């Protein structure tokens, strides 16, 4: 099996150069956090949701009755994976933010079936080494014809460092509506980088959450079991541990609202009291007033036709689109012309 599985660390080069580079990376993160916390409204980058505890909580969110996103995308994939594989033919499958790769299995089943015993090449990319390694090992066991070359690191960096493509084209997958975490500006920059990483006839498969009633959207981010609230509050535990801060999560309350002007869910942590939070390394104290909000996430909702136009401007043509019966969620397949 080991000859079918290869893991590459995108950051290892810089870290190996000198021991202090590790510290400076953490320091950069710290500066970024400090910057975000001093904005109006104060912000904490969403990537800090996903420590070990937060990743478990997110898996739980995906099972919630109110959180329709994962369930709907899975259903669409089950109904369309064969058709997608038929359209693209055998591809090197690159997945941005592969995570536990549960949904990927549906695609890989279709592609291994199509390849009729020929190797299928899969390039999962994830920031979390443990989740990438364990899911890659499982996939190799499950699919004897699979060759996995995993990349540990930021997927935006990974786009410029993809391993060579051994078949005629690539399929880059970006599922789960993670695109929704990007502001319009970040989204545009991401599309530029994506188009640059693709050559003529490569494919891009994108999963996006669509516009729908405010009630359904708000409920999906304010579940009755309060798992999303725990997930949101856990970000404070994580930054406390990571940066030696002293947020008291119990003094904050979770809120998720739909901003209809910007067409996005906004998740906040609202301070219940006046409090001071110390940032020890920067010698700075934050004075957070009662009622003050910290923005932890935006989750934008999309219209497939808007995305189609944006990607058309980058040289990608829509090949096929798949949706659920209610048009709540959309899976879009593009081809670089």
Task: State in angstroms the smallest separation of the CB of 231 from ligand AVJ.
Answer: 6
Q: Which is nearer to ligand AVJ, 6 or 47 (CB)?
A: 47
Kindly report the length of the chain: 337
Q: What mask of x and - would describe binding to ligand AVJ in positions 210 to 229, judged by CB under 6 A?
A: -----------x------x-
Phi, psi of 81 (to 5 degrees): -55, -40
Asked if 69 touches ligand AVJ (CB under 6 A), the answer is yes
Task: State in angstroms the smallest separation of the CB of 134 from ligand AVJ.
Answer: 19
Asked if 177 touches ligand AVJ (CB under 6 A), the answer is yes
Task: State in angstroms the smallest separation of the CB of 259 from ligand AVJ.
Answer: 14
Asked if 80 touches ligand AVJ (CB under 6 A), the answer is no
Residue 149 belongs to what H/E stretch? strand 146-152
3-state secondary structure labels for all residues of 220-249: HCCCCCCHHHHHHHHHHHHHHHHHCCCCCH
The DSSP line for 193-225 is HHHHH--TT-EEEEEEEBP--HHHHHHHTS-TT
3-state secondary structure labels for all residues of 113-136: HHHCCCCEEEEEEECCHHHHHHHH
Dihedral class, residue 21 (left if φ above 0, else alpha if ψ from -120 to 50, else beta): alpha
Task: State in angstroms the smallest separation of the CB of 101 from ligand AVJ.
Answer: 14
CB 75 within 8 A of CB 103: no
Asked if 61 touches ligand AVJ (CB under 6 A), the answer is yes
Q: What mask of x and - would describe binding to ligand AVJ in positions 227 to 256, judged by CB under 6 A?
A: -x----------------------------
Asked if 100 touches ligand AVJ (CB under 6 A), the answer is no
Residue 99 makes CB contacts below 8 A (sequence gap 6+) with 55, 126, 128, 131, 135, 176
Asked if 332 touches ligand AVJ (CB under 6 A), the answer is no
Q: Which is nearer to ligand AVJ, 124 or 180 (CB)?
A: 180
Q: Which is nearer to ligand AVJ, 69 or 93 (CB)?
A: 69
Q: Which is nearer to ligand AVJ, 97 or 163 (CB)?
A: 97
* Interacting residue with ligand AVJ among 54, 176, 207, 304 (CB under 6 A): 176
Tokens for 134, please give them. Answer: 């364990």
Residues paired with 120 in a beta bridge? 146
CB count within 10 Å of CB 281 equals 14
Q: How far apart are CA 216 and CA 326, in angstroms?
A: 12
Choose the binding region for ligand AVJ from 160-168, 174-182, 280-288, 306-314 (rule: CB under 6 A): 174-182
* Residue facing ligand AVJ at closest CB distance: 299
* Interacting residue with ligand AVJ among 297, 304, 334, 335 (CB under 6 A): 297
Tokens for 59, please give them. Answer: 């898996």
Scanning residues 267 to 286, which ones bind ligand AVJ (CB under 6 A)? none
Task: Write out the residues near ligand AVJ by the rule CB under 6 A.
Answer: 61, 69, 176-178, 180-181, 221, 228, 297, 299
């Amino acid at each position: 099996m080991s000859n079918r599985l290869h893991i590459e660390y995108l950051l290892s080069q810089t870290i190996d150069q000198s021991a202090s580079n590790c510290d400076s990376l953490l320091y950069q993160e710290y500066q970024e956090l400090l910057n975000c916390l001093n904005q109006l409204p104060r912000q904490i980058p969403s990537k800090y949701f996903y420590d070990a505890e937060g990743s478990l909580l997110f898996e739980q969110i995906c099972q919630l009755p109110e959180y329709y996103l994962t369930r709907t995308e899975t259903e669409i994939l089950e109904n369309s994976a064969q058709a997608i594989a038929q359209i693209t033919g055998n591809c090197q499958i690159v997945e941005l933010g592969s995570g536990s790769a549960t949904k990927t299995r549906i695609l890989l089943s279709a592609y291994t079936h199509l390849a009729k015993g020929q190797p299928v090449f899969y390039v999962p990319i994830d920031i979390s080494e443990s989740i990438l390694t364990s899911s890659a090992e499982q996939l190799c066991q499950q699919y004897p014809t699979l060759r996995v070359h995993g990349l540990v690191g930021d997927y935006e960096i990974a786009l410029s460092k993809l391993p060579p493509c051994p078949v005629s084209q690539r399929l880059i997958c970006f599922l789960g509506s993670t695109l929704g975490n990007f502001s319009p500006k970040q989204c545009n920059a991401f599309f530029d980088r994506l188009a640059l990483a693709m050559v003529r006839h490569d494919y891009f498969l994108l999963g996006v959450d669509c516009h729908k009633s405010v009630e359904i959207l708000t409920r999906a981010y304010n579940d009755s079991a309060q798992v999303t609230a725990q997930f949101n509050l856990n970000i404070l535990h994580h930054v406390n541990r990571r940066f030696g801060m002293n947020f008291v999560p119990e003094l904050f309350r979770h809120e998720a609202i739909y901003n209809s002007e910007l067409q996005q869910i906004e998740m906040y942590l609202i301070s219940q009291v006046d409090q001071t939070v110390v940032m020890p390394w920067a010698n700075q104290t934050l004075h957070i007033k009662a009622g003050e909000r910290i923005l932890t996430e935006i989750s934008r909702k999309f219209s497939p036709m808007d995305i189609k136009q944006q990607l058309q401007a980058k040289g990608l043509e829509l090949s096929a689109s798949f949706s659920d019966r209610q048009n709540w969620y959309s899976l879009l397949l593009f081809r670089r012309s």
